[in-house]
Amino acid sequence: MIEISNLSFRYREGEDLALRNVSLTIPSGQFVGVTGAAGSGKSTLTYAINGIVPHCYPGDFYGAVRIDGHDTAETSLTDLSRLVGSVCQDIDSQMVSSVVEDEMLFGLENFGFPKDEIEGRVTRALADMGISDLRDRAISSLSGGQKQKVAVAAILAMEPAVLVLDEPTAELDPASSKGVFDLLARYARIHGTTVVVVEQKIALLSAYADRILIVKDGGVYLDGAPADVLAHADELRESGINCPRATSLANRLRARGLYAGPVCRNVDDAVAAVEEVIA
Amino acid sequence: MIRFDHVSAAYAVQTPVVRDASFTIDNGEFVAFVGTNGAGKSTTMRLCNGLLKPTAGRVLVDGVPTTELRTSDLARRVGFLFQNPDRQICCKTVREELEFGFRAQDALTDEARARVDATIERFGFDANAEPYLLNRGTRQLLALASIIVMEPDTIILDEPTTGLDFHECEKVMGAIADLHTRGKTIVMVCHDMEVVADYAERVIVMTAGEVVASGPTFEVLRQRAVLERAGLIAPQVVDVSLRLVERHPELAGTPIATANTLDEMVAAIEAYAAGAKEAAR
């Protein structure tokens, strides 16, 4: 469980607060999607959960963040990284090895996982990400999207209680992006992993997340189930977020008095909505 | 014009990442390359501007093989926006960044300075700002602007909207659409099918290094089998249209079966619903 209470943070070199009085509780096993315009504070929120803030970025830190009861400000980054697995936005800065297999082993060996468990974890995580064939490849020979998959696999192999991912699908093709979200949803459902994922692709969030947070000016602007958040189309647009086309389609039909059903969060919903209109 | 004539390419000793690719991109076209990660799209882009030379076949730019052109000469005709703007940005101020191409060619004339000024104004940049302190979206716009200012005939964009929010994406794509209106050739790699649907006129699909489909945007994006094979997902409105026709064969032949955009789909449904009401009377 992640408990954030009255959290505010200002980077040392910054004038404005990057986060403003954020209070949130994310229960174990919840799949939370975070989105918002550039510079809204999304990444800082992920840093506050994995402890990068305040441990690596000095600044003014107010309030508290607790991961399964551990106060992040009072827990060392090493201990935190056992609880919270992170995939950063800049994949190249995350990679430490020159070959995919070594990258997979790095975290597992450093955390002292039993030797007989390691092989199974590596094989499973690579297979889950659909990249078993990349195991012996040099990281420098991989495409941007392939590297992103390796970074996610390396974190999944450690099966942390909390997963924090900052735009993990930015460079992925549509099928792979969907694959990553399928996988994250499965980890949340089956292993009870708490998943917090920052993502610009609102269509993916609305189709998969249990809950969506819209971050604006360092605060949580909207917080709710996807359909409830998507009902605020105008506010979303103002916040730099475009509703999925499937949602917009149903909204336009509603505005013309043709449709009166619930908000559509994906193509399945939109197909059902149109069927209702033309029946 | 860019022509690929049975082109293959490989890095070091690995198996080819582009295999026997042949296609032609005419002047003034707006073409999107789509496909899975590692399909060879970025490599194809590098072949277009001579950063990479083919191991077999020929890449012709305006009829001349890239192997016979110096990269610096090619750069004048074919501008290139990298996937990551930080691989491109190298100067201390926005103005210097925009002047960089001219300086490199020893051509920072009064006319060039005027073009830099006009570009700064058009994009609303702060001329003295330090590029690395700008946010990602603005850095991307700056990288794009530093190419636009040189006015190459062709501009190649490797995932121009990655990591941008909706407003930034509209700004970047708006600038690109504007170039296309002014007759420039646009070649872009893009994973966002909504962006492809909104802007590209033609789509070329790559799978495992090969060109597997090419055609007008919506003709290609309506082919389920091609999309599946290439790891793509149809734009949502097209997907809704395809699924409705699959589930209700009687909709084939109606505008719903051919609606590609939100406007078209809303109009098609409205017309269909009105017609159904009329028939019921």
Q: Does A99 touch chain B (CB under 8 A)?
A: no
Residues 154-183 of B with CB under 8 A from A: 159, 162-168
Contact of B144 with B175, CB cutoff 8 Å: yes
Q: Which domains does chain A have, with CATH numbers?
A: 2-225 (3.40.50.300)
CA distance B112 to chain A (A): 32
Confidence label for B86 from pLDDT (cuts 50, 70 and 90): confident
A267 to B239: CB separation less than 8 angstroms, yes or no: yes
What are the φ and ψ backbone dihedral angles of B194, each rounded to 5 degrees? -70, -40
Q: Does B236 touch chain A (CB under 8 A)?
A: yes
Share of chain B above pLDDT 90, in %: 64
Residue type (1 letter), A88: C
Looking at the predicted structure, is the pLDDT value of residue B45 above 90? Answer: yes
- The full set of domain ranges for chain B reads 2-233, 235-281
Contact of B201 with B209, CB cutoff 8 Å: no
Q: Does B144 touch chain A (CB under 8 A)?
A: no
Q: Strands B78-81 and B154-158: what pairing?
A: parallel
Phi-psi label, residue B163: left if phi above 0, alpha if psi -120 to 50, beta otherwise: left
CA distances from B260 to A33, A247, B248 (A): 29, 16, 18
Confidence label for B164 from pLDDT (cuts 50, 70 and 90): confident
Sequence-distant (≥ 6) Cβ neighbours of residue B211 within 8 angstroms: B21, B22, B23, B204, B205
Can you give the pLDDT at residue A44?
Answer: 93
Q: Does B235 touch chain A (CB under 8 A)?
A: yes
Can you give the pLDDT at residue A146?
Answer: 84
B163 to A200: CB separation less than 8 angstroms, yes or no: yes
Q: How many CB atoms lie within 10 A of CB B133?
A: 9
> Would you list the DSSP string of A30-85?
-EEEEE-STTSSHHHHHHHHHTHHHHTS-EEEEEEEEETTEEGGGS-HHHHHHHEE
Interior CA angle at A95 toward A170 and B231, to 5°? 35
- For testing contact with chain A, the best of B140, B158, B165 (most A CBs within 10 A): B165
Nearest-CA neighbor of A198 among A123, A81, A87?
A: A87
Mean pLDDT of the B90-116 span: 91
Can you give the pLDDT at residue A94?
Answer: 80
Nearest-CA neighbor of B166 among A208, A234, A202, A172?
A: A202
Could you tell me the pTM of the whole model? 0.86
B38 to A240: CB separation less than 8 angstroms, yes or no: no
Contact of A129 with A156, CB cutoff 8 Å: yes
Can you give the pLDDT at residue B22?
Answer: 96
CB-nearest partner of B240 from A175, A242, A246? A246
CB-nearest partner of B231 from A149, A173, A248? A173
B36 to A176: CB separation less than 8 angstroms, yes or no: yes
Q: Does B23 touch chain A (CB under 8 A)?
A: no
Report chain A residues whose CB lies below 8 A from the CB of B159. Answer: 144, 171
Q: Does A44 touch chain B (CB under 8 A)?
A: no
Alpha carbon B12 to its chain centroid, in Å, reads: 27
pLDDT tens digits for B120-157?
998 889 999 988 888 877 888 899 999 989 989 999 99
Looking at the predicted structure, is the pLDDT value of residue B25 above 90? Answer: yes
Least confident of A85-99, B104-118, B239-253: A85-99
**Class of B2-233 in CATH:** alpha beta
B194 to A245: CB separation less than 8 angstroms, yes or no: yes
A258 to B269: CB separation less than 8 angstroms, yes or no: yes
pLDDT tens digits for B212-229?
999 999 999 999 999 998
- For testing contact with chain A, the best of B18, B37, B238 (most A CBs within 10 A): B37
Side-by-side strand order, sheet with A31-35: A84-87, A162-166, A194-198, A31-35, A211-216, A219-224
Would you write out chain A's pLDDT as a tens digit for each of its 279 residues? Answer: 999 999 999 998 888 999 999 999 999 999 999 999 888 999 999 999 999 999 999 899 999 999 999 999 999 998 998 899 998 877 777 888 999 999 999 989 988 899 899 999 999 999 998 899 999 999 988 877 788 889 999 999 999 999 999 998 887 888 888 888 998 998 899 889 999 999 988 999 999 999 999 999 999 999 999 999 998 988 898 888 889 999 999 999 999 999 999 999 999 999 999 999 998
Report chain B residues whose CB lies below 8 A from the CB of A42. Answer: none
